[in-house]
Structure 1
Amino acid sequence: MARLLWVVQKPVYFLGRQWNGVDIASVFTLTAIHLLALLAPFYFTWSAFWLAIVLYYVTGVGITLSFHRNLAHKSFKLPKWLEYFFAYCAVHSLQGSPLEWVSSHRTHHQFTDTPSDPHTPLKGFWFSHIGWIFDFRKRFGSYDGRLYNVGDLKKKNYYKFLHYTYPYHCIACGVVLYRTGGMPYLVWALAVRTVFFLHVTFSINSICHIWGNQVWDTVDLSKNNWLFGLLAHGEGWHNNHHAFEYSA
């Protein structure tokens, strides 16, 4: 099957580009959570470690079941209370509101591995892994432009509420963890857990479009990667997903 050759402009990450409030907030948030995670050796306790593991699975399954399979692809239906519960779990992964996450993912499938893909690998590993998060204007043209394809979710008050209040839920989670277990809980159950899962998710966009096996000819660069299949709750079987994106 014929393949297209794309020529793309090298992304400008920091200097010589326009910044908006969303981009600045993204840089600040991700920098802060990574710096907090660096304190992990100084605040290790077994209770904090195991709580981090539990929350890793709770928030990770929330992303996989809710934001990805249920909301983005409508692969299955859940009772409303359970649908909303998993969506709320996903919010605490620090990957954006349901509207933002689903919009970006649907755009990814619409323009997979082309210049219009939000995290296209054509602009390099760094861009597809994390650099894409820092430039809303380049990807969508405007702040609201990224939400053009989630009209179904905009009709639901619950998801609109989570969209506009998303940061406050993450902050509240941090406050509860700190009040419950002090710095060990804040560092491990919030920062370390969040940073690790963020990079696991980012690796689906980057590593799983570079290294692995391509079982299906999907006319893109998606790959199956067994390691991230384990770490990302099945998401590493990425070529399978692009071949049958609506399959649960």
Structure 2
Amino acid sequence: MTAALPNDSNPKLTPAWTVIFFFTSIHLVALLAFLPQFFSWKAVGVAFLLYVITGGVGITLGFHRCISHRSFTTPKWLEYVLVLCGTLACQGGVFEWVGLHRMHHKFSDTAPDPHDSNKGFWWSHIGWMMFEIPAKQDIPRYTKDIQDDRFYQFCQNNLILIQVALGLILFALGGWPFVIWGIFVRLVFVFHFTWFVNSATHKFGYVSHESNDYSRNCWWVALLTFGEGWHNNHHAYQYSARHGLQWWEVDLTWMTIKALSFLGLAKDIKLPPETALPNKA
């Protein structure tokens, strides 16, 4: 079975049925949170804590700024903690996430971009993951620096088992409410908040810097994703550990990196040129 992909010279793509089933199942099970027997404020608190750990620490700080862009370096043990937290976000293995993200920056908003925003909001938000896109075949080319690391390989190969292990811990601590909220509800929110960076920040917001694509600075995405919404800044200075460049562009991840630096746990921090930093921080 094939589907037509808009604005593409090679429109025939095969649906990724495993991915479709996975995301559909996560969303459907999350609906159980509306049943009274699965609700508790403690469970909501667990979901929020894990949203911070997996979405903020794992994806934003770890997979994105530390691993994908090497915006800063950390001791290897801390790097592995970040990779583990990112793996718990269940957005594909670390190799897929990093490789596809690097491709996105190389080809941003052009046909080879995995989530090219020219193909529509839905495509860049979630649609691109529902098909076997050609970009997946090029992942090894873009992840040569991490492919041989055994811990990365472990996380890559045991993505679901690691999530199941977390689920068992949550069940032991708080029963099904902790599992429903801490795994399924949390994943739905982390999924869509991350995906808004691919979709909303290429459609809504303002432009501060020339980036040769449609990236925008979007304040509400920045709030949801610990600073990732300052996307035009990021595309203009992809290597920078700091995304919020104006005083009002709150970037919680940059604050975290500064805290790690103060503790001696973040080094080789890359920043944009002084001309892009009207207010030093």
Q: What residue is the counterpart of 1:8 in the other structure?
A: 7
Q: What residue is the counterpart of 1:36 in the other structure?
A: 29
1:117 equivalent in alignment to 2:113: yes
Q: 1:93 aligns with which of 83, 89, 95?
A: 89
Q: What residue is the counterpart of 2:189 in the other structure?
A: 196
Mapped to 2, the partners of 1:18 and 1:93 lie a distance apart of 25
CA displacement, residues 82-105 of structure 1 (integer Å, 9 cap, x when unaligned):
110111011111111111100010
Q: SS at 2:115's partner residue?
A: coil
List structure 1 segments (4+ residues) > 4 angstroms apart after TM superposition: none
1:161 equivalent in alignment to 2:146: no
1:1-248 aligned at under 5 Å gives the runs 8-9=7-8, 17-19=13-15, 23-42=16-35, 43-60=38-55, 61-136=57-132, 138-140=133-135, 144-248=137-241
Q: How many residues align?
A: 233
Please list every run of 5 or more consecutive structure 1 residues that lacks an aligned counterpart in the other structure: 1-6
* Counterpart residue type for residue 7 of structure 2: V
* Counterpart residue type for residue 30 of structure 2: A
Q: SS at 2:8's partner residue?
A: coil
CA RMSD of aligned residues (A): 1.7
Q: Is the 8 A contact 1:10 1:123 kept in 2?
A: no
Q: Structure with the greater relative contact order (CA < 8 A, sep ≥ 6): 1 or 2?
A: 1
Mapped to 1, the partners of 2:195 and 2:146 lie a distance apart of 24
Q: Is the 8 A contact 2:30 2:181 kept in 1?
A: yes
State the 1:148 CA deviation: 1.8
Q: Is the 8 A contact 2:92 2:159 kept in 1?
A: yes
Mapped to 2, the partners of 1:77 and 1:70 lie a distance apart of 7
Mapped to 2, the partners of 1:120 and 1:165 lie a distance apart of 29
Please list every run of 5 or more consecutive structure 2 residues that lacks an aligned counterpart in the other structure: 1-5, 242-281
When normalised by structure 2's length, the TM-score is: 0.79
Mapped to 2, the partners of 1:67 and 1:115 lie a distance apart of 24
CA displacement, residues 214-244 of structure 1 (integer Å, 9 cap, x when unaligned):
1112111000011111110100010010011
Mapped to 1, the partners of 2:166 and 2:158 lie a distance apart of 13
State the 1:179 CA deviation: 3.1
Q: Percent identity?
A: 42
When normalised by structure 1's length, the TM-score is: 0.89
